Amino acid sequence: MLSPAKSLRCIVRARAFSSSSTLSALSAAALPKAEQLSSEWKGTSATGGTTKNFIGGQFVESKSSEWIDVLDPASQTLVSRVPQTTSAEFEQAVDAASEAYKTWSRTSILGRQRFAIEYY
């Protein structure tokens, strides 16, 4: 999955390309994918919505009631809010990342490139 920032960049790039006649076919294909990815990260746009934790390939609501504001460093406007993750959620994320690393570390360079191209 893409990070909220990468999802947002995909949408911005797709919309920027849509004004270019030479890339209009590409943007027509890329925009729906970018919007679909962005919808999975609902609340991560400049509207200042909230973000779920991403643990083990799943979006998970945090049990925390505390939030951290994510600000655009250029304008200081609220971009999103992320949960102050609990210790248990943090441990789950570390365990999931450790499991994912076992497979990822055995993935070839070409496989990693394909993944990055497909999801970026």
Q: Which residue has the higher pLDDT, 5 or 54?
A: 54
69 conformational bin, left if phi > 0, alpha if psi -120 to 50, beta if neither: beta
Residue 27 is predicted with a pLDDT of 64
* Per-residue pLDDT, 97: 94
Instruction: Determine if the pTM surpasses 0.85.
Output: no
Q: What is the pLDDT averaged over residues 106-111? A: 92
Question: Can you tell me the mean pLDDT for 34-59?
Answer: 71
Distance CA 37, CA 4 (A): 9
Share of the chain above pLDDT 70, in %: 62
Residue 77 binned pLDDT confidence (cut-offs 50, 70, 90): confident
Beta strand pairing status for 67-71 and 58-60? unpaired
pLDDT band at 25; cut points 50, 70, 90: low
**Is the pLDDT confidence value at 95 over 90?**
yes
Name the 3-class secondary structure at 120: coil
Helix, strand, coil share (%) of the chain residues, nearest 5 = 50, 15, 30
Determine the pLDDT at residue 42.
54
Give the mean pLDDT of the chain. Answer: 76
